[in-house]
Structures are given as structure tokens and as C-alpha cells.
A and B are shown apart, each in its own frame.
Chain A
């Protein structure tokens, strides 16, 4: 996959590009935005907010700031992912692919069915299988897994998970997640202490491994 890149050195320039590029079918003529936070004429977060108000263009945030609460804040504000400097180009490309798939044209196909390494999850039929054997999940476990499947390959913050599965009153109950993720890993992972499927992003949230394209 190759990309054509337009580099904007400031917030003002980025806004200009976005305007000049125009829109195509209600979407701007860009596929993805890589946003650095510290820009000479302001914070990148203002652009993120402006972008999110208008369209669902995927946004990857790049920053040297490592504070985890800031990452969480940006993810909750609508950023698709967050990369801390320094990072490898391989990692950047992988994150870009995931972001594009999620915001891409064929959105609906990817998110209701999940397959990776012997694990199959079908949200429509509520079926979960591991090595062709059905896996029994409690309603809450399934709800949690389904939320991760819909964002497969992307980090879902603790807050997002707790809100979507238990409700807004439960955003402080991180220990619920610890319990149910432990149960899910016990049912889906070969070795729960060395997960291959349900990854932990320490201090931020969880990520279901990207599905194998098949």
C-alpha cells in the first residue's frame, strides 16, 4: 500500500488543505490524518475537535507526550489511535492500516464477524468458537467481547468499555473489566498470562488483535 502525503506545518495550513481538498460524497478528499499535537500556532487537539464535528475521517495522533491520561483523553475525544514518539515506521503503517479499515468504505462487513487463529466470533448469530468448538460466554462476557470485536485492532479505553457494557454509572469500576477480561482470556486464550488475542494496553484499555484477512 502506498500513500500520497501532504504535510502541513501548522494548524492554519492544515485547515487550508482540508478546505482546498474539497469533499467527495460528503467526505473530505483525504483518507487519513496524522496529527502532531504540538504545532506552532496551537494545540493539535483543536483540529481533532473540528474534524470530529464534521466527519469521520480517521485521525492518528502522534506526540512526544507520554502521559497516559492524555492518551485516554484523546482516544475518548475521537482519535482513532495514539503513537508516542519515538516509534518505528512499521508500527505507524500497521496502525494506519487498522484505522483505514475501520473508517473505510466496507465498514459493516468487517465488524460483525471476527476470525483469528482458530477463534471465530460472529456477532449476528451470537456464536463464539475456538478450534471449531463452541465457547459458552455469559451475557456480560459476550457484550464485552462484542464491543472489542467492533473495534478489532484498535484500543478501546476502559471508560468506553465500561460505558458501553455496564453503563455510564460504572466508569470507575475498572475492576469489573479485570474480572471479565480474565474470564474471557481463560476461555479464549491458550495461555492467559501470555495473550495472543486480547491485549492489554496498560493504563489505557484493551485491544483485540487484528483479524486475519480471510
Chain B
């Protein structure tokens, strides 16, 4: 019984010591005062000693020493002294009274001790439960605490035990893959564990269910479902209070597992909802923004197919050109949508490398040259810019979109500026046009994917506005993914989109000593 909450051994020794000291002290006093006091008063001293010693001594010792004390008292003080014989009858009554009083004191002590022990046990149990609860709340994965639970239950019950806990949902069949098994079991115990887990009820001795089972099975119950079970290989029934405590520990684990499971379900549901939303917006965009260019292509292509002989060579060329332009437009929009979906999907990683702003801009110029027949593009790159740490393709896509918009929404013949500058806190890449500008109330809306500002194109047909919102939303997403930002300044003289990219500590530059096997130029080559 004492295996749970055993008080420290040293305390036990002390209790014996105090008890023994009391008895020795009592006897010394009695021997010292024996000649001055009559037998009745002397007997009172013995009763007092016994009562005081009972505070410390265990019950059996109190009883034993009490009986021994009364007998010794009889031997030493009751006439005739030096024998157990009793001369006077009233002395018999005295001895009986002393004996009975000793018994009563011992019985009271038993009751008191039991009570104190129970209070202590309850306090300790409550304390353990509270610490355990805190511990379970603090961990991310309650499954990590199963080992601790096993240790706690083992020290509580001193028996071998096995735990079974679900990883996620309850499987249809008893599959070990779906659960964590801690400890050793045979087939029967395992099926017992699964039964306990599925039914959420205690099994085994003193539980009212399957009493003949050799072990005690405790479920780890959550609020609604059971998330695990513990099997305690008992050979004799566990005391009720220990069973209750073990069950409480298991239930806390069950609650923690349930909380964790619910959180995971919620996160999954949120992610699905986000993905669903993204998919819906993408579908909406595709159905809306793809229709216009597709209609143009369809129209031009069917004209060429059915009426080519009635069209002049120039008309045919115009139609073919329209098909190529719109196809290019579709291609760009598809790229933007895919990239936006990738960036919006959290966890998309950037492929960063060191890049020179001059080179980024150079590669764009190269790409835009064919479209820029009127030579509208003006490049302004500050010399000696530090290197950027960025995903080249994304930054190119950002500038490509900005340039594309600038060309579309400003009058032919006006300049489009592509600017790279050093700032105090980074490098800015900017595209400035000399178009009509964007009205104040539209300036935020245009960055939302699929909600385009009602732009009035200076030259182009309304068809060409499709996909602008996707493009700008992507530009902003790219800038943000790099830890930078995309800003818009616009007035009646034009609009300027500025992408600020933060700077990183620059990499080590090569020195010529680092380069092995360098080819030396002949003297005449160097001049």
C-alpha cells in the first residue's frame, strides 16, 4: 500500500528515533520518581509516555511497546515487584485501564495517519496532474510525451506497461501503422489495447468489464473520441486512488492528443479553403481574361481559314500579326498566373543568386527590342551598383510586366524609362511612363488580382487591358517575396512603379591571385 507516495526513508528513521527517545525518557522519569509517587500517578506517566510516543511511532510499534510497557510496569512497580503477579485487585483495574487507553490512543493515531496520508496523496496527485497538464499544453506534438506518461504510470504503479496512441484518425481496422506502440505486448494484449481504445472504457480487474483479464486497461479519452490506451500488467488489483490517478493522467494525454488532432484538422481545412479560393479566382480570371484574346485569335484565324482568297496580302498580314500578338499576350498572362499561384502558395521558395542590376536590365532590353520599334525605351542605370541577391527570373518577370503596361498605357512616341538606382536602404528598379497617369481612387485597386482599374488606354483597344491586374498583383507578390516593396506614384504627367529591393552584405570579390592557370596575353595583345 505504501508503494505509492512513500515518505522518505530518513523521515521513518527519525520517527523511530523520536518514539524510542520518548519511551526511554518516560521510563527514566518513572524510575526517578517511583519512590515519591503512588502507583496510580506513576501509571498516568506511563499512559502519557505511550500517548506522546504514538505521535511518531507506527501503529504496530505503538501497540507492541504499549503492551510491553504495561507488562514491564507490572513487573517493576506493581507489588509484588519483580514478578507479574498482582497483590491487590485495584491494581488489576489500573493495568487494564492503562492497556485499554493505550489501545484507544493507537487506534486514533491510525485513523489520523490514514487521513493525513490521504490528504497528502490527493495534494500530490493534484499537483502531478497540474504539472502534467501544463507540460502537455506546452508541447507541439503531444505524441512526444508518451514516453513521459509511461514513466509516470510506471513509477505510480510499479508494473510493466504498454501504451498505444493514435497518430491521427481512428483507422477502420486495427492497423499498427496508424498508431504509436510503446512497450512490449503479445497479440492478446494488443487486441485488448485496441478494444479499450475503440470503446473508451476501462477493462480488467475491478473495472466491471472483462474482470478475468490479467492486466488493467485504461483508455486515453478525449472529449469525444478515445485517442489511446494503456495496459498495466498487474498481478493484483490496483488501489482505487492509484487507478483514478492513472486514469486521470491518461485522460489528460487523450485530451492533448484530441486538441492536437483538432488543430491539425483546422489547419488543413484552412489550407484547403485558401487553395480553393485561389483556384476559384484563377478560374474566374481565366474565364474572363482569356476570352478576349482568344476571341481575337479565333476571329483572325477563322477569317484566314475561310476567306483568305478574298483578303488582300496586307489584310492577311494584319490578321496574322494580330494572332501572333494575342498569342504572345496569352503566353505572358499564363506565365503570370502560374507564377502568382506559385508565390501565393506558401512555401514557394525563391531561387536566389547574386545578380547585377545592369545585367537584369540588359536582358530586358534585349527582349523588348523587337517590340520597341520607335525606340521609346530609355535606360538609366547608375554606374557601380552593388549586386542584388534575388530570383532573377522573378525580377525579370516583374520588370517585364511593368514595361509591358508602360508601353500599353502611354501614347506612342512618348518615352518609357527603365531606371536602376542606389538608395540608402537598397536598390530601386523603376519603370516610368509619360502617359495619362492613374486616378487616385484606382491606385490601390489595380494591384488586386482580377480587379482591374478602369484604365483608359491611350491608343490600344479595350481588349488589351485583360490580365493587367494579375500582372500587377504578381509584381507586388514578387517584390514582397524578396523582402522589398512595390510602390506607385502617379500624376497627370505619368506613372512610376518603383520596386525597392533590400541590399545584402556583398560577396567576396575575386582577386587575380585566386585564379589558377590564368592565360597570359602576349605582349602585343596588351599594348
Contacts and interface: CB of A to CB of B under 8 A. Distances in A.
B521 A68 contact: no
Interface residues of A, number: 39
Contacts of A179: 509-510
Interface stretch (B64-72, B176-184, B352-360): B352-360
A69 interface: yes
A200 interface: yes
A200 B363 CA distance: 5
A138 B527 contact: no
A139 B512 contact: yes
Given A86-B327, A175-B387, A203-B392, A181 B359 contact: yes
A171 B518 CA distance: 17
Interface in B53-96: none
A28 interface: no
Contact of A193 (B365, B515, B522): B365
Contacts of B522: 125-126
B525 A178 contact: no
B354 A175 contact: yes
A136 B512 contact: no
Interface string A123-146: 001111000001011111011001
Interface in B173-222: none
Contacts of A192: 358, 362
Interface string B315-341: 000000000100100010001000000
Nearest to A206: B359
A212 interface: no
B240 interface: no
B351 A193 contact: no
B361 interface: yes
Nearest to A128: B525
A174 interface: yes
A143 B518 contact: yes
B360 A139 contact: no
B351 to A, nearest CB: 7
A193 B364 CA distance: 10
B424 interface: no
A161 to B, nearest CB: 13
B354 A136 contact: no
Contacts of A200: 359-360, 362-363, 366
Interface in A147-181: 166-167, 173-176, 178-179, 181
B362 A142 contact: no
Contact of A203 (B351, B365, B515, B525): B351
A199 B363 contact: yes
A193 B365 CA distance: 8
Contacts of B365: 193-195
B331 A193 contact: no
A117 interface: no
A40 interface: no
A178 B358 CA distance: 9
Contacts of B366: 194-195, 199-200
A13 to B, nearest CB: 30
Contact of B521 (A86, A137, A181, A199): A137
B363 A139 contact: no
A118 interface: no
Interface string A181-197: 11001000001111100
A202 B527 contact: no
A66 interface: yes
B519 interface: yes
A101 to B, nearest CB: 21
Contacts of A126: 519, 521-522, 525
B507 interface: yes
Nearest to B389: A175
A43 interface: no
Contacts of A86: 327, 331
Interface in B471-519: 507, 509-510, 512, 515-516, 518-519
B509 A193 contact: no
Given A68-B351, A179-B509, A202 B360 contact: yes
A76 interface: no
Contact of A182 (B351, B356, B363, B510): B356
A66 B526 contact: no
A152 to B, nearest CB: 16
A201 interface: yes
A9 to B, nearest CB: 25
Contacts of B392: 202-203
B104 interface: no
A140 B515 contact: yes
B379 interface: yes
B361 A193 contact: yes
Given A126-B525, A176-B510, A178-B387, 10 more contacts: A126-B522, A134-B525, A139-B521, A166-B515, A173-B510, A192-B362, A193-B365, A194-B365, A200-B363, A203-B391
Top 3 A-B pairs, shortest CB-CB distance: A139-B518, A175-B354, A200-B363
30 contacts: A86-B331, A125-B525, A126-B522, A126-B525, A127-B525, A136-B527, A139-B520, A140-B512, A142-B519, A146-B519, A173-B510, A175-B354, A175-B507, A176-B510, A178-B355, A178-B359, A178-B387, A181-B359, A182-B356, A182-B358, A185-B362, A193-B379, A194-B362, A194-B379, A199-B362, A199-B366, A200-B363, A200-B366, A201-B363, A202-B363
